[in-house]
């Protein structure tokens, strides 16, 4: 199976090289890597171009934000499976894509996801939160559950059938897409009980109080849009984060 991995980036020269290396160092050999740059001016493109011979497709042009960039990547992707790795983040180990593909084949599903670690912005080995996703249950969405989006791999045919990111959501389009795919259309999914991605804290959706409030507003609109319930779903969604800080002390991640 061919796997397309998409990275959207804008002015992130500090971490883009780590992201690129974590993709290029994957043991699985049938990977199409697509980088969509928003017209960076800080030297990000210079770093990307160091690896241009190993990157399948590079686009650099203005966009309407991260989800617009990711939509461009999805439309360009030719793989059977599509995964998204943000420019701040890295895969947790070299066999991540191999494990993902094997799970798709073994379980014969439409999507696969795993666990995620939030790590220090300046030290990817320092775990701040450990997001243990657990097995998929459709009704869990009503209690604030969702898989960690950076670990969520989806068959291209699902995007073709049910659509791409909804650009009316500036921060929570990833949540809306997962609710739409898994809850509304009930695509099948399998869980890998391993940390697949290390995500640096301080990304777009957690930069400041304003974006934090905006995310919750958008989350609530999504909850109502897909008839998950009311305000209590939003409360459950936020309460689910608390155990992640306790689990950070695990030493096997």
What is the per-residue pLDDT across 101-128, written as a single tens digit (0 to 9) for each? 999 999 999 999 999 999 999 898 899 9
Which domain, by its residues, includes 189? 3-247
CATH number at residue 193: 3.90.550.10
d(C-alpha 249, C-alpha 35), whole Å? 34
Q: How many domains is the chain built from?
A: 1
**Cα angle for residues 236, 227, 134 (degrees, 5° grid):** 45
252 within some domain: no
**Cα angle for residues 56, 57, 60 (degrees, 5° grid):** 150
**Cα angle for residues 175, 176, 180 (degrees, 5° grid):** 120
d(C-alpha 229, C-alpha 236), whole Å? 11
* Token pair listed for 67: 């989800």
Contact in structure between 119 and 200 (CB atoms under 8 Å): yes
Q: What is the CB neighbour count within 10 angstroms for residue 210?
A: 8
Inter-axis angle of helices 231-239 and 209-225, nearest 10: 130
89, 94, 50: which is closest to 66 by C-alpha? 89
Contact in structure between 234 and 223 (CB atoms under 8 Å): yes
Label residue 235 by pLDDT band (50, 70, 90): confident
More confident position, 124 or 38: 38
71 within some domain: yes
What is the per-residue pLDDT across 70-105, written as a single tens digit (0 to 9) for each? 999 999 999 999 999 999 999 999 999 999 999 999
User: Alpha-carbon torsion 201, 248, 154, 159, what sign?
Assistant: negative
The mean pLDDT of the chain is 92
75 within some domain: yes
101, 104, 128, 100: which is closest to 116 by C-alpha? 128
229 within some domain: yes
Rounded percentage of the chain residues whose pLDDT exceeds 70:
92
| Three-state SS annotation for 167-226 | CCCCCCHHHHHHHHHHHHCCCCEEEEEEEEEEEECCCHHHCCHHHHHHHHHHHHHHHHHC
137 within some domain: yes
d(C-alpha 169, C-alpha 149), whole Å? 15
Over residues 32-46, mean pLDDT: 97
253 within some domain: no
Label residue 252 by pLDDT band (50, 70, 90): very low
- pTM for the model stands at 0.91
94 within some domain: yes
Contact in structure between 228 and 175 (CB atoms under 8 Å): no
């Amino acid at each position: 199976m061919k796997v397309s991995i998409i990275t959207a980036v804008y002015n992130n020269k500090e971490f883009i090289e780590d992201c690129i290396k974590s993709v290029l160092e994957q043991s699985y050999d049938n990977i199409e890597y697509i980088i969509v740059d928003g017209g960076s001016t800080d030297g990000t493109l210079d770093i990307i171009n160091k690896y241009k011979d190993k990157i399948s497709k590079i686009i650099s042009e203005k966009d309407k934000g991260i989800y617009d960039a990711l939509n461009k990547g999805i439309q360009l992707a030719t793989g059977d499976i599509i995964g998204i790795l943000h420019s701040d983040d890295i895969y947790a180990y070299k066999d991540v894509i191999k494990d993902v593909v094997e799970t798709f084949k073994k379980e014969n599903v439409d999507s696969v996801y795993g666990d995620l670690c939030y790590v220090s912005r300046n030290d990817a080995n320092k775990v701040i939160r450990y997001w243990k996703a657990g097995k998929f249950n459709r009704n869990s969405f009503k209690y604030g559950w969702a898989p960690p989006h950076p670990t969520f791999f989806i068959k291209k045919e699902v995007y073709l059938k049910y659509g791409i990111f909804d650009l009316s959501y500036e921060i929570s389009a990833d949540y809306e897409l997962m609710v739409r795919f898994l809850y509304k259309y009930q695509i099948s999914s399998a869980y890998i009980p391993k940390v697949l991605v290390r995500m640096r804290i301080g990304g777009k959706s957690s930069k400041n109080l304003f974006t934090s409030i905006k995310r919750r507003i958008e989350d609530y609109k999504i909850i109502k849009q897909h008839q998950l319930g009311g305000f209590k779903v939003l409360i459950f969604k936020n309460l689910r984060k608390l155990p992640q800080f306790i689990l950070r002390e695990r030493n096997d991640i």
